[in-house]
Amino acid sequence: MNACVFPGQGAQFVGMGKDLYDNYSQAREWFEQANQILGFRITDVMFSGSDDDLKQTKVTQPAIFLHSVILAGIIGDRFNPDMAAGHSLGEFSALVATKALSFENGLVLVSQRASAMQKACELQPSTMAAIIGLDDAIVEKACNEIEDIVVPANYNSPGQIVISGSIKGIDLAVEKLTLLGAKRAIKLAVGGAFHSPLMEPARMELEIAIDHADIHKPICPVYQNVTSEPSVDPAIIKENIKKQLTSPVKWTQTVRNMLNDGATCFYEIGPGTVLQGLIKKVDKNILAESIRL
């Protein structure tokens, strides 16, 4: 069974999507439509902007979304997954690619999500850290024992968790987890505590937009970050994406569930190859590769 997966923030690179724009008229139409919806020429930043320009949250998230969903659209009839999932932002790409959301509604939600997250980041200084080489349970217990806000945010692969919280909470956690034997415990260069309670203002803002979004039954089950379980029910999908910003991304659990449900190959659709690496850490023998046009 084929599983299609869609990357999240961090997969961006300058030049992303330019080959699609140059070689496919349908891609050009979608990109130009995106420029109009967003109110600025995101294509200019994607194709020839600076790294710093592309790293702005308001640009990064819609840029990765556009690369992913336009690539899926150009694949056309060859895009026929038995199941799908996306990492954080990538869940919105997965929902558009599987026809649960329209291109326009998906892009508007992603833009609103990026704006809401940026505002939440500015309300309170916060950050994230990558913890390598410890069991999930050890990281979870250490976070629970710290009085400041610090929680597991991304269960990326076995032995790789990203934690999220206040500056003080993350500093304490990095120190504690290093003493507990983490191979690496590194603060990340991010502007906020994504997938933590500190994103509550963003969750509340985005919830209103999601309530007004028209979500349909996808063409295949979509495994969602919050539960790691598949769904085709629009009401369940809607509730899960409402909770996503303040809940951990259960990526390891998602990949395991997809494997248990019969996935034999994973195709990453979008910029980069990050998800392929994470999937291989869950099962080194599984086929995981990028979609080629």
Give which of 110, 86, 131 is closest to 34, Cα–Cα.
110
What is the C-alpha separation between 72 and 78, in angstroms, rounded?
Answer: 9
247 catalytic residue (yes or no): no
Q: How many whole angstroms separate alpha carbon 74 and alpha carbon 59? A: 22
Residues ≥6 apart with Cβ < 8 Å to 183: 132, 133, 134
Candidate list 195, 228, 231, 247, residue with the active-site label: 195
Sequence-distant (≥ 6) Cβ neighbours of residue 168 within 8 angstroms: 148
Instruction: Please report, in angstroms and rounded to a whole number, the separation of the first and last CA atoms in the chain.
Output: 20
Burial 13-48 (b: 16+ CB within 10 A, else e): eeebbbebbeebeebeebbeebeeebeeebbebbbe
If we measure between CA atoms, which residue out of 227, 214, 143 comes closest to residue 185? 143
Nearest to 145 by CA among 168, 173, 183: 173
Q: Please indicate whether residue 88 is annotated as part of the active site.
A: yes
Of 67, 68, 88, 111, which is the active-site residue? Answer: 88
> How many distinct helices (H) and strands (E) make up the chain?
13, 10
Alpha-carbon distance 93 to 105, whole Å? 11
Give the 3-state secondary structure of residue 153.
strand
Distance CA 65, CA 46 (A): 12
For 44-146, where are the E strands, in sequence order? 83-86, 126-132
**Catalytic residues, which ones?**
88, 195
